[in-house]
């Protein structure tokens, strides 16, 4: 079994590459360990909390004990299913801020500045928000907004404006900064994953999908020639005539490189793996977004709590199955905000997801019943972690340590997030609905009290990235060059969120798909012409926080 291009991982970037390569007439084969994505828990947006907690769809990874979070192990879900994490995520669509990509370019990812990536965002988008020069209108990835009928959803944006912040009509367009409607990869009430957007059209163009566990890249005389897989209990090699492309996630891609002899030489030697290319950056530079949710009780029965019973859930499910509408057709993140934490910060470094329900990550609702919450966290933590091998056995999970909250800046940033959120919730727009603060609770006020709350309750937003960073050939920590080619091995590329030099603002699904789109063009020897649209930057950012 072989193909011109063998892609490992049918996730966000892998599906995009499979489609663009197949569209160009290439012989493409995609290796995916997970299975079918057609079940209602995946396809119904309102059921988003289920697939992330189901072993059939999730690799089930967790971190090592995090030293700055009291030794807590945090869940680290990654999609093990067609569509990868785009089939189990919250469906929130965020491009990232223009300055994120200019930072990529300035740090050594030549050709990945905002002017270079904007045409790819436009090419991939089918935006259902009307005509906009900033957005794409006929791409494979459908992007929509919720109905925003819930009064709490509108109150959140009004409160932000009352607190003195900007409003924005489109945070994915010219102006990210401000409060406004949130966007989602949902089409006609159905999750629009990378599998729906890209993989099925790729298969119609001849791309093949093989269900198998990738064990390592086969390298001969310095060139990748195939992938060793386990399929149906048998170990075999799938040959690649042109290239092997890893798109297995920021956790599994570095693991596969190391199992293949590409990584920090001393670490590989510890596990008895022969070194093919000594790349100390493999598995390093691990980044993520952490978040907290601040919960308020609601004094009126306006939240989604009315559906949080057997009858309510049956109604939501039936309505979605029959008509693809109602609460099940939305991820319920319908308002959001991107703000700057203080004067002197040039572009937003705090993100809000607003939810018209007070509910925990494990799906348990607040005892108070009706309520609402804002998920908030800083966007650019200075903390860095690593992904390393637990053993040389490909079936062992990688060892994941984010080293969360390892700097004083992390704690200062989170305290500021909590205090700014309380101020927003105190605005008049919430007056008709605002009950008591459920979490952290009004009594939690001092720095020490807030730190205790943060240490105990902070959770991953599930945005791991950066473990095989893109950079120049003379950067010893770079793993891939600006064309996504693995440095030191011919015929091998890597394109997923691993290659991000720095984490982007907001959720990572959008930028991961963009990486797949752009990497496909590098493989095909073509690039879209850069554009010079200048994003909005707060005119008084040096002296004002809002």
Q: Convert the pLDDT of each residue in 462-475 to its tens digit.
A: 999 999 999 999 99
Q: Which residues contact 91 (CB under 8 A, 6 or more apart)?
A: 45, 48, 184, 185, 186, 191, 192, 331, 509
Residue 47 banded pLDDT, cuts 50, 70, 90: confident
For the four alpha carbons of 475, 479, 484 and 489, in that order, the dihedral sign comes to positive
Hey, CA dihedral for 396, 86, 386, 274, is it positive or negative?
positive
Residue 6: beta bridge partners?
Answer: 29, 244
| Residue 115 binned pLDDT confidence (cut-offs 50, 70, 90) | very high
Q: Are 205 and 19 in contact (CB under 8 A)?
A: yes
Q: Average pLDDT of 100-121?
A: 98
Phi, psi for 51 (deg, rounded to 5):
-60, -30
Asked whether the predicted pLDDT for residue 505 surpasses 80, the reply is yes
For residue 233, what pLDDT is reported? Answer: 92
Alpha-carbon distances of 174 from 36, 134, 177, 338, 346, rounded to whole Å: 37, 7, 9, 13, 15
Position 129 confidence tier, pLDDT thresholds 50, 70, 90: confident
Q: What is the dihedral of CA 470, 475, 476, 477, to 10 degrees?
A: -30
Contact predicate 137/127, CB 8 Å: yes
Of residues 234, 227, 271, the one with CA closest to residue 32: 227
Buried b (16+ CB within 10 A) or exposed e, 56-76: ebbbebebbebebbeebebbb
Q: What confidence score (pLDDT) does residue 366 get?
A: 77
* Average pLDDT for 507-530: 97
Tokens 């599930």 correspond to what residue?
A: 462
Neighbours of 471 (CB within 10 A): 22
Average pLDDT on 36-52 reads: 87
With bands split at pLDDT 50, 70 and 90, how would you rate the model's confidence at 328? confident
To the nearest whole number, what is the mean pLDDT of the chain?
96
Question: Tens digit of pLDDT for each residue in 182-205?
Answer: 999 999 999 999 999 999 999 999
Say if CB 251 and CB 14 are below 8 A apart.
no
User: What is residue 40's predicted lDDT score, i.e. its pLDDT?
Assistant: 84
Q: Which runs of consecutive H residues, i.e. helices, occur in 284-429?
A: 310-323, 408-425
pLDDT at 362 over 80: no
pTM given for the model = 0.97
Lowest mean pLDDT among 58-62, 127-131, 241-245, 460-464: 127-131
Residue 217 assigned to a binding site: no
For 215-258, write each residue's pLDDT tens digit.
999 999 999 999 999 999 999 999 999 999 999 999 999 999 99
Is 441 marked within a binding site?
A: no
Q: Is 81 annotated as a binding residue?
A: yes
Bond before 102 cis per omega within 30 degrees:
no
Burial class of 407 by CB neighbour count within 10 A (0 to 12, 13 to 18, 19+): middle
pLDDT at residue 309 tops 90: no
Burial of residue 367 (CB within 10 Å: 0-12, 13-18, 19+) is exposed
Residue whose entry in the numeric block shows the structure tokens 């049918």: 10
User: Mean pLDDT, to the nearest integer, of 25-51?
Assistant: 91
Rounded mean pLDDT of 128-132? 88
379 is in an annotated binding site: no
Average pLDDT over residues 154-162: 98
Residue count of the chain, please give it.
546
| Virtual torsion, Cα 355, 362, 191, 197, nearest 10 deg | 120
- HSE at residue 235, side-chain half, CA atoms within 13 A, is 7
- pLDDT digits 0-9 by tens, 315-325: 999 999 999 99
CB atoms within 10 A of CB 325: 13
Q: Does the annotation list 90 as a binding residue?
A: yes
68: Cβ contacts below 8 Å, ≥ 6 apart: 403, 404, 405, 406, 455
| Local confidence band at 296 (pLDDT 50, 70, 90 cut-offs) | very high
pLDDT of residue 110: 97
**What is the rounded distance in angstroms from the CA atom of residue 21 to the CA atom of residue 379?**
33
19, 94, 117, 346 from 112: Cα distances, Å = 21, 17, 6, 20
273 and 36 Cβ atoms separated by less than 8 Å: no
539's CB contacts (< 8 A; 6+ apart) are none
Find the angle CA(512)-CA(495)-CA(122) to the nearest 5 degrees.
45
Is domain 2-63+74-524 given the CATH code 3.50.50.60 in the classification? yes
Rounded mean pLDDT of 148-160? Answer: 97
Q: What is the pLDDT of residue 53?
A: 82
pLDDT of the residue at 116? 98
Where exactly are the structural domains of the chain?
A: 2-63+74-524
Coil, strand or helix: which one is 101? helix
Least confident span in 211-225, 291-305, 354-368: 354-368
Confidence of residue 360 (pLDDT cuts 50, 70, 90): confident
- In this model, does residue 334 exceed pLDDT 80? yes
Percentage of the chain with pLDDT > 70? 100
Catalytic residue among 142, 289, 375, 463: 463
Tens digits of per-residue pLDDT, 364-399? Answer: 787 788 999 999 999 999 999 999 999 999 999 999
- Respond yes or no: is residue 463 known to be catalytic: yes
């Amino acid at each position: 079994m072989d193909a011109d291009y063998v892609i490992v991982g049918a996730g966000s970037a892998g599906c995009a590459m499979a489609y663009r390569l197949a569209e160009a007439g290439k012989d493409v084969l995609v290796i995916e360990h997970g299975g079918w994505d057609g079940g209602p828990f995946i396809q119904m947006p309102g059921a988003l909390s289920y697939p992330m907690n189901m072993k059939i769809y999730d690799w089930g990874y967790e971190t090592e004990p995090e030293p700055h979070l009291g030794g807590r192990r945090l869940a680290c879900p990654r999609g093990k299913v067609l569509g990868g994490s785009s089939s189990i995520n919250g469906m929130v669509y965020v491009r990232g801020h223009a300055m994120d990509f200019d930072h990529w370019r300035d740090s050594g990812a030549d050709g990945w500045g905002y002017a270079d990536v904007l045409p790819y965002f436009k090419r991939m988008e089918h935006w259902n928000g009307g005509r906009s020069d900033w957005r794409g209108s006929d791409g494979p990835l459908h992007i929509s907004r919720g109905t925003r009928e819930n009064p709490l959803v509108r109150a959140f944006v009004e409160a932000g404006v009352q607190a003195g912040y900007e409003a924005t009509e489109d945070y994915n367009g010219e102006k990210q900064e401000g409060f406004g409607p949130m966007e989602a990869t949902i089409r006609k009430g159905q999750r629009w994953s990378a599998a729906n957007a890209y993989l099925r059209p790729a298969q119609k163009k001849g791309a093949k999908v093989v269900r198998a566990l990738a064990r390592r890249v086969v390298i001969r005389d310095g060139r990748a020639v195939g992938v060793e897989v386990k399929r149906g209990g048998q170990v075999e090699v799938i040959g690649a005539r042109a290239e092997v492309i890893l798109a297995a996630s920021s956790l599994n891609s570095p693991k596969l490189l190391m199992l293949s002899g590409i990584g920090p030489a001393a670490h590989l030697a510890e596990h008895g793996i022969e070194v093919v290319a000594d790349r100390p950056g493999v598995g390093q530079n691990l980044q993520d977004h952490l978040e907290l949710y601040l919960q308020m009780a609601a004094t009126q029965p306006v939240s989604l709590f009315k559906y949080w019973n057997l009858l309510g859930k049956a109604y939501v499910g039936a309505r979605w199955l029959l008509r693809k509408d109602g609460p099940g057709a939305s991820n319920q993140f319908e308002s959001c905000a991107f703000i700057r934490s203080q004067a002197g910060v040039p572009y937003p470094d705090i993100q809000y997801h607003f939810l018209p329900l007070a509910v925990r990550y494990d799906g348990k609702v607040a005892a108070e019943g009706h309520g609402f919450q804002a998920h908030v966290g800083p966007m650019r933590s200075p903390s860095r972690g690593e992904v390393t091998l637990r053993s040389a056995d490909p079936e062992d999970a990688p060892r994941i340590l984010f080293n969360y909250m390892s700097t004083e800046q992390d704690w200062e940033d989170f305290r500021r997030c909590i205090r700014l959120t309380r101020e927003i919730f105190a605005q008049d727009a919430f007056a008709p609905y605002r009950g008591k603060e459920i979490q952290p609770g009004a009594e939690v006020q001092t720095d020490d009290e807030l730190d205790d709350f943060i240490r105990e309750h902070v959770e991953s937003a599930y945005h791991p990235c950066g473990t095989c960073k893109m950079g120049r050939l003379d950067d010893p920590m770079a793993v891939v060059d600006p064309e996504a080619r693995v440095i030191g091995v011919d015929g091998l590329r890597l394109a997923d969120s691993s290659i991000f030099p720095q984490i982007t603002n907001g959720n990572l699904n959008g930028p991961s798909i963009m990486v797949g789109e752009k990497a496909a063009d590098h493989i095909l020897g073509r690039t879209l012409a850069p554009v010079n649209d200048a994003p909005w930057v707060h005119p008084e950012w040096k002296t004002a926080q809002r």
